Structure 1
Amino acid sequence: MDAIGFYEDDEGICCDITLESFVDVPVQVVNLETYEIDGKFITDVEYLRNNQREMNSKVNEAISEYIKRKYHSDTVDFKLVKVYAFHDEKSIYGLVFTWDGDSEHGVGVKVDNTDVIKVGPAEVSFT
């Protein structure tokens, strides 16, 4: 794995990685409410990199369905802006997306490995 620059912010220990399947710029990955680099977070970052293609496919489909159902819109131009990992939950990730149709709340997705378990406003990704 490429060298990762870890840093701390108000949500926890973080790093920026590029997940090309989602977006072509680095996105922040946060180990929520944890301020130490541990083996689990490194494993989580590796998992995201190695499984991003499958995760992207499932997440895109789930968000598109959510937007159509909730907003009755076919506008599905959304962009990944942040990923949460959870120190106390194995293989659970929260993804936050911006979406022009709801610029205030965005869209949040919770996944277990690569399977989508919940889609909703951004808060879904970290609760």
Structure 2
Amino acid sequence: MPPRIPLTLPRRLISTTRPISSVLRPQIIGEQPYSSQQPTKPRSATGEFYKTFTRPVAKTILIAIFTYQVLYYAWVKLEQNEIKGEKNAEIAQLEAEVARLEAVRVEEEARKPKNGDAVEVVKKKGWWPF
């Protein structure tokens, strides 16, 4: 019968303080042994500003654009209603004038002599022969 292989690692391999990746890779000169953190660059002030304030500024801009569009739509709607009211008032005034002129025309037609009535022709006086 073949010898049995344990399915778990022995305790002495688990309790090592160094990670396995640092054991397998060659050590670079000047590097601290057993260091798991890489040296980080200091972040620039500009990068920190944008990282901190990009989302709030973008949200503020979007809200401002949305508010502007809503107010603009409301303003245009009110202006259209005002223009429509002015046009309707002008149409009503013109219709009243047409009705008045129509009444005047009908009155003048009533004053005209009928076909059987004699019409006196007045000759114009002037230096032209006709």
TM over 0.5: no
Structure with more contact order per residue of length (Cα contacts < 8 Å, sep ≥ 6): 1
Structure with greater strand share of residues: 1
Compare CA radii of gyration and give the structure with the larger one: 2
TM-score by length of 2: 0.19
TM-score by length of 1: 0.19
